[in-house]
Amino acid sequence: QVQLVESGGGLVQAGGSLSLSCAASGRTFSRKAMGWFRQPPGKEREFVAAISWNGGSTMYADSVTGRFTISRDNAKNMVSLQMNSLKPEDTAVYYCARSIFTYIVTTMSAFGSWGQGTQVIVSS
C-alpha cells in the first residue's frame, strides 16, 4: 500500500479558506483515483471529493460542491484539497485516500490506502 500523509489542517474562521495536501511516500499514487473523506466528531466518515488517476474527472459531495476543489500533481505524488467559504459544519478530521480503481468510485470500500487524517476546525 501507498503511505499517505495529510497536512494543512488547522483553525479557520467561517468564510475563510484552507488548503490540505496529501503526500505519498514509499510508493507513487499515479494511475489510481484519489479521494478525500472527512469524519466529524461522533459522526461517520463521509465522502468529500475524488479525482481520477489523470485528473480528468472530479466529483464532490453536494455539501462541498462549489466551495472545495480537488487537484493532483502526479509528478510530485501529491493531491490537494482547496477549501473555500468554510462553514462550521466542515469541522472534521480530513482523510486522504487512494482508490483501488483508476476511475472515481465514492464508497469507502473503493479506497485501499488511507492517511492518518488532519484536523480542520471552522469557528463561527
The pLDDT assigned to 23 comes to: 93
Average pLDDT score over residue span 24-31: 72
The pLDDT assigned to 1 comes to: 60
Q: For 64-99, give one letter per residue: b (16+ CB within 10 A) or e.
A: beeebbbebebeebbbbbebeebeeebbbbbbbbbb
What is the tens place of the pLDDT at every residue in 75-120?
888 999 999 999 999 999 999 999 999 999 999 999 999 999 999 9
For the cut 90, the answer to whether the pLDDT of residue 24 exceeds it is no
The pLDDT assigned to 74 comes to: 87
